[in-house]
Every structure is written in structure tokens, then in C-alpha cells.
């Protein structure tokens, strides 16, 4: 056992990070400035340590907002891993996130615009309108850090309509994963990654006061309306299946669209076509069609939702890495890849396509830095960057960059 001073917040998972004998040790539940007693154990390439005792509390700690988060007074108790930076002041969390981006950009080896601020999207509570949870014997819960165990929670402090999750286990058996999506009226849909129990849909509908509107199994519609309709100020409203990708909350989505709109308004796209990669169900597409003729590429068959959400766009079902634009030229490409960033084939396609402008939406500082660096090496200039704190008390954020030839 060792006493470890926590020096940083780990960028990938939000765990506290300290050093012992030159080796980084990641500690769930720890806050920058804590001194904790841990027993480091190697898992894969990294060392991790579970807190056995909090020797000294950090000045950045604040009163816990959630009863299921790590409790420094009872460090051996199990806790929810959903908000790994819970217990840290939000101002310091945001400062840490901005530092993560700046540090990543400095490591790029090319000239990148360093962000000067991070935009706050919410107060930290009730910001989620989408959760992914697992069922337990007594309700629903979230994975504990460094464990295969599920921490049962009766409510979720960061979910807008998560005041009672106990009835969700009526729809399936323990261990089943659910994706739950609410709209601003409190109506919700569930995607069940497994078996739906007999009378389960009726039981959840009754327990929720009739607010259950959509049920799918492995993203295939089985009950109720086909989509949950999300009102985020863009016309038309966004229609989604419960299992479709969406931002953690409606306010986060509004902030992202607002940031994109701000960058788009600075670009002269007169007569130029727009290409969107990783288009999903047409969330961003709804905004792009207002600026010009838009082709939206997506590998998952979301064409039905896309045609409702962005009827003026051309939908192209293709993996981005296999997309062949042919001889067509585009004035702008907007790419919102997964956390792993642009794959090699997509990057090469972009550099050969040579759109005049590229807007890259990244949710990870390191892969975002890598992709921006490769685009700059390929002839682009990094013009502007916006950083949004879309998921408070987690290391996750959105980094939106504008590049030009």
C-alpha cells in the first residue's frame, strides 16, 4: 500500500492520476489534490488503484450532489462510475478539461489554435435526456469503475427525468442493457438489448403514468410510436429511435448546433455543395441544408429517420471509409466521427477530395488533436476552435474546429 498524491485528472476516463516510482497510477473517485492510500495493480498497460483511505482531502472537493457517487468518508463502499469527476467543483472540472485540450494541441507538432475558454452547457444536474443502464433485481443501475458489478440506483441526479428508475426492470431480466431517451415533455422510449418479458411493456407503461411511447429491441421497433420527437429549436424537430446515437441531453445538442451555426455563418458557401460524414439520423444535417445542397453519408441504415429529419438532403448509405465521392466537388465537409476519430481511409479521402472548408467535431482531445494535425499536414489551416462542456463531472466534451485551405 502507498500514499499517492493526485496530480491530474486522467483525460480518457476522468480518474485521478498520480505517480509512483515513475509509473502513472489511475484512481477512480480521487480528485486532483487528494492524498489517498491505494494498492496499485497492473491491468493491461496501466496501473490502477482502489482507494483504501483518504489521507487528505483536496481543496477542489465539494459536497456530493449524488448519494451513489464516491464517498470519501466511506471509501470502501461501492459507487456508481457514471460521473467519475463528481465531488470536484465544476469550475475546476471545466478548467481541467480546457487544460486537457490545450495540452493535447501542444503535442500535435503543428500550428493549432489554442482554445481560450470552455462553454458551460448546464449547471451540472438534470442535463441528461439519454441514459444507458443495466437492469438489476431491484431496479436499474450503472457500472461500478474497474468492475463488472452494477451499482443499483433509485434515481439519477444528472438525468432530467431520472427521479425514479426503479420500474425499468419490469421490462426485462437482470443484466439486460437499456437505452432510455426522454423528450422535453417527459415522454420516453426504451431500446432493450435482450429479451422483453411478457407484459413488461404494459407494466412499464402503467408504472410511468403512460409516458412510455416507444419500445424497440436491438433498435428494431416493437411497440408504440416509431420515434421519440425531440424539440431542440431546429425545424423540423429531431425524430429518433431510442437506440439511435444522440447527445447526452437536449441542451448539449442545442449548444453544438449553435456553435456549428456560428462557424457556418462565417463561411461563404454560395453555390457550393456540402458533404456530411457520420451523419447518423440527420441531426446536424437539419442545419446544413439551410446553407446549401447537402449529401449525408452514414453506414447505419437510418434513411427513414433521415428523410423525416432532413428531407432536402441526399442520403448516401456507405461506410465513410468506403465512400467514393467521384468527380464531385464540395465547398465544405462536416465530419462528426466516433471517439476513435477519423480512420485512415476517411482521412485520405478528405485530403484527396480537398473541400475548401472542413468542420471537425471531436469528442476526445487526443484523437481530435491527431486528426487536426493530419489535416494541417495535408494542407489545411486550423482557423477556429470551440470547446463545449456537454457532460459535466465527466472528462467528455465536444471540440468543434474550422479548417480552411
Q: What is the pLDDT of residues 370-384, one digit of tens each?
A: 999 999 999 999 999
In this structure, is residue 94 part of a structural domain? no
Q: Do 115 and 160 belong to one domain?
A: no
pLDDT band for 326, please (50, 70, 90 cuts). confident
In this structure, is residue 8 part of a structural domain? yes
User: Looking at residue 183, what is its pLDDT?
Assistant: 96
Percent of the chain with pLDDT over 70: 100
User: Looking at residue 45, what is its pLDDT?
Assistant: 86
Range of the domain at 37: 2-78
In this structure, is residue 25 part of a structural domain? yes
Q: Measuring CA to CA, how many Å separate 301 from each of 112, 286, 298, 334?
A: 35, 17, 7, 19
Q: Do 283 and 358 belong to one domain?
A: yes
User: Looking at residue 89, what is its pLDDT?
Assistant: 95
User: Looking at residue 301, what is its pLDDT?
Assistant: 74
pLDDT of 142 over the 80 cut: yes
Write out pLDDT tens, residues 245-303.
Answer: 999 999 999 999 999 999 999 999 999 999 999 999 999 999 999 999 999 999 887 77
In this structure, is residue 318 part of a structural domain? yes
Q: At what angle do helices 365-377 and 344-353 cross, to 10 degrees?
A: 40
Q: Do 118 and 136 belong to one domain?
A: no
Q: Do 253 and 119 belong to one domain?
A: yes
DSSP 301: -
User: Looking at residue 236, what is its pLDDT?
Assistant: 83
pLDDT of 363 over the 90 cut: yes
In this structure, is residue 239 part of a structural domain? no
Q: Do 284 and 157 belong to one domain?
A: no
Q: Do 113 and 136 belong to one domain?
A: no
Q: Which long-range contacts (CB under 8 A, 24 or more apart) does 36-43 make?
A: 36/3, 36/4, 36/6, 36/75, 37/1, 37/2, 37/3, 37/4, 38/1, 38/2, 38/4, 39/1, 39/2, 40/2, 40/4, 43/146
Q: Do 22 and 117 belong to one domain?
A: no
Domain count, the chain: 3
User: Looking at residue 277, what is its pLDDT?
Assistant: 97
pLDDT band for 304, please (50, 70, 90 cuts). confident
Instruction: Please answer whether residues 319 and 342 qualify as being in contact, where contact means their C-beta atoms are separated by less than 8 angstroms.
Output: no
**Residue 2 three-state SS:** strand
Q: Measuring CA to CA, how many Å separate 300 from each of 10, 165, 240, 286, 313?
A: 32, 30, 13, 18, 16
Q: Do 365 and 218 belong to one domain?
A: no
Write out pLDDT tens, residues 198-208.
Answer: 999 999 999 99
In this structure, is residue 101 part of a structural domain? no
Q: Do 51 and 187 belong to one domain?
A: no
User: Looking at residue 177, what is its pLDDT?
Assistant: 98
pLDDT band for 29, please (50, 70, 90 cuts). very high
- What CATH number has the domain bearing residue 63? 2.40.50.140
User: Looking at residue 260, what is its pLDDT?
Assistant: 98
pLDDT band for 138, please (50, 70, 90 cuts). confident
In this structure, is residue 45 part of a structural domain? yes
Helix residue spans in 9-89 (DSSP H)? none
User: Looking at residue 344, what is its pLDDT?
Assistant: 95
Q: Do 292 and 379 belong to one domain?
A: yes
DSSP 57: -
Q: Show which of 204, 230, 256 is a domain's final residue.
A: 230
* Cell (9 digits) for 49: 488503484
Q: Is the Cα torsion angle 148, 153, 157, 162 positive or negative in sign? A: positive
CA dist 38 and 112 (Å) reads 38
Q: Show which of 198, 230, 262 is a domain's final residue.
A: 230
**Residue 75 three-state SS:** coil
In this structure, is residue 52 part of a structural domain? yes
Write out pLDDT tens, residues 231-258.
Answer: 998 888 999 999 999 999 999 999 999 9
Instruction: Please answer whether residues 371 and 342 qualify as being in contact, where contact means their C-beta atoms are separated by less than 8 angstroms.
Output: yes
Predicted TM-score (pTM) of the model is 0.94
In 273-397, beta strands by DSSP E? 274-277, 294-298, 314-317, 332-335, 357-362, 381-389
Q: Do 212 and 324 belong to one domain?
A: no
Write out pLDDT tens, residues 99-137.
Answer: 999 999 999 999 999 999 999 999 899 999 999 999 999
Q: Do 289 and 184 belong to one domain?
A: no
- What CATH number has the domain bearing residue 399? 3.40.50.150
User: Looking at residue 327, what is its pLDDT?
Assistant: 82
**Average pLDDT along the chain:** 95
Instruction: Please answer whether residues 83 and 394 qualify as being in contact, where contact means their C-beta atoms are separated by less than 8 angstroms.
Output: yes
Amino acid at each position: 500500500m502507498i500514499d499517492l498524491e493526485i496530480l491530474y485528472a486522467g483525460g480518457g476516463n476522468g480518474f485521478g492520476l498520480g505517480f509512483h516510482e515513475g509509473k502513472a497510477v489511475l484512481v477512480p473517485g480521487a480528485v486532483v489534490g487528494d492524498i489517498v492510500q491505494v494498492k496499485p495493480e497492473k491491468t493491461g498497460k496501466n496501473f490502477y488503484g482502489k482507494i483504501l483511505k483518504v489521507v487528505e482531502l483536496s481543496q477542489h472537493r465539494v459536497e456530493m450532489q449524488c448519494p451513489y457517487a464516491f464517498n470519501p468518508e466511506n471509501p470502501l463502499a461501492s459507487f456508481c462510475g457514471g460521473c467519475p469527476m463528481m465531488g470536484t467543483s465544476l469550475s475546476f472540472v471545466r478548467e481541467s478539461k480546457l487544460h486537457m485540450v490545450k495540452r493535447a494541441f501542444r503535442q500535435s507538432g503543428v500550428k493549432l489554435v489554442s482554445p481560450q475558454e470552455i462553454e458551460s452547457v448546464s449547471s451540472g444536474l438534470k442535463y441528461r435526456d439519454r441514459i444507458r443502464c443495466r437492469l438489476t433485481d431491484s431496479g436499474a443501475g450503472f457500472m461500478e469503475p474497474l468492475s463488472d458489478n452494477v451499482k443499483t440506483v433509485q434515481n439519477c441526479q444528472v438525468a432530467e427525468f431520472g427521479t425514479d428508475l426503479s420500474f425499468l426492470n419490469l421490462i426485462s431480466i437482470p443484466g439486460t442493457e437499456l437505452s432510455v431517451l426522454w423528450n422535453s415533455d417527459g415522454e420516453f422510449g426504451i431500446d432493450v438489448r435482450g429479451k422483453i418479458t411478457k407484459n413488461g411493456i404494459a407494466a412499464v407503461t402503467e408504472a410511468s403514468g403512460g409516458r412510455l411511447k416507444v419500445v424497440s429491441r436491438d433498435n428494431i421497433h416493437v411497440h408504440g410510436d416509431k420515434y421519440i420527437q425531440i424539440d431542440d429549436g431546429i425545424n423540423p424537430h429531431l425524430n429518433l429511435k431510442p437506440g439511435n446515437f444522440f447527445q447526452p441531453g437536449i441542451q448539449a445538442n442545442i449548444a453544438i448546433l449553435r456553435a456549428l451555426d456560428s462557424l457556418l455563418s462565417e463561411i461563404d458557401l454560395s453555390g457550393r455543395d456540402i458533404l456530411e460524414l457520420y451523419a447518423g439520423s440527420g441531426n446536424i444535417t437539419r442545419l446544413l441544408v439551410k446553407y446549401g445542397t447537402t449529401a449525408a453519408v452514414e453506414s447505419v441504415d437510418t434513411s427513414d429517420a433521415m428523410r423525416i429529419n432532413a428531407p432536402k438532403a441526399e442520403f448516401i448509405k456507405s461506410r465513410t471509409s468506403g465512400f467514393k465521392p467521384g468527380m464531385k466537388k464540395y465547398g465544405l465537409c462536416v465530419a462528426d466521427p466516433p471517439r476513435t476519430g477519423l480512420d485512415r481511409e476517411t482521412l485520405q479521402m478528405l485530403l484527396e477530395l480537398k473541400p475548401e472548408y472542413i468542420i471537425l467535431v471531436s469528442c476526445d482531445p487526443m484523437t481530435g488533436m491527431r486528426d487536426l494535425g493530419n489535416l494541417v499536414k495535408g494542407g489545411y489551416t486550423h482557423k477556429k476552435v470551440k470547446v463545449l462542456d456537454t457532460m459535466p463531472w465527466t472528462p467528455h466534451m465536444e471540440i468543434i474546429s474550422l479548417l480552411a485551405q
